[in-house]
Amino acid sequence: MKTFSFWLYTPYSLRVDSPLFFGYICIKYFTGTPFTGRKLLKKILRFIKIEHTLFSLPMIYSGVFLASRGTPSLRLLILVLLAAVGARTVAMTLNRIFDRHIDARNPRTHQRELPSGKLTMTHGYGILAAGFVLYLGAAWSISDFCFFLSPIPLLVFTIYPYLKRFTALAHFGVGLGLAMGPLGGWFAVTGSTENFGTALLLPLFTLCWATGFDIIYSTLDEEFDKSEDLFSFPSRFGKKRALQISAALHVIAFILLLILFFTALHGIWAAPLLVLSGLLLYFEQKKADDVELAFFKINIVIGFTVFAMVVVSNLFP
């Protein structure tokens, strides 16, 4: 792994690895606004929905621990965290920029930072640049292999926001974006495509799980999507049929998790966590009408449960 770092006396007196340093520079100077005000920081964190990293980070670290078969180095865990935050920032910022006019017409989203003017487009582009640098810099620091593959997620993040203008399969764009996380975690450890079949099981689970919960989330905008001629499963097939598709995807997700458990994990102590993951997926479907509970709360618990299952399997094989 490459590394270089130096001291930068920011308003917070941080020692910063190069990607974090340049991310700071992008926000501070590209936007023309010093990155010191708490209000601005809060607006930026709301803008990129930093709390949604709780969906992706457990799966990314699951990929890391699955590949390492032990305890990864602290340095690698930190670099993976930086890459995850950078990638999340790029994905959300692109989505917010591309959808700002649609968001302005949607009663549910018109108060978001760009349509409401709480942040300017200059801020948006500055945050985007910071996310790019943080993500690419962290990938470069992990390995040449990860840096070589790093443009692939960026391509998915760029294409996904446009899909709902053309196809109801846009939900799979969300799933694909999140599914690359555990695969990236695996590559961060292995630096190769070795045992690629095993590596694919966790991303495939994430693809089905995330696509299923995005369908649940999209039920909030069923009527708006119809009025704007936007494509989603609820707007095209109705809420009932869309939730049936979501449930089917979650059944497939659990089957993939079973295959992963019996082929790559084992461990009697991890088995209760496997069962809990299945129960949580079932509970998410039963509570699909309560999107706040199903989408935000239960999904976070599912992600950490799967992560705990992988870690426990490593510690107690």
pTM of the complete model: 0.86
Average pLDDT value for the chain: 86
Q: 208 vs 193, which has greater pLDDT?
A: 208
Query: Closest by alpha carbon to 296, among 62, 49, 61, 92?
Result: 49
94-131 pLDDT tens trace: 999 999 999 999 999 998 889 998 888 998 999 999 99
263-294 pLDDT tens trace: 988 778 899 999 999 999 999 999 999 988 88
The pLDDT of residue 8: 37
Query: Closest by alpha carbon to 146, among 204, 76, 203, 93?
Result: 76
- pLDDT band with cut points at 50, 70 and 90 for residue 197: confident
Per CATH, the number for 13-315 is: 1.10.357.140
Quick check: 167 pLDDT over 90?
yes
The pLDDT of residue 2: 53
Q: 72 vs 12, which has greater pLDDT?
A: 72
49-86 pLDDT tens trace: 777 777 789 999 999 999 987 789 999 999 999 999 99
Asked if 191 and 146 touch (Cβ cutoff 8 Å), the reply is yes
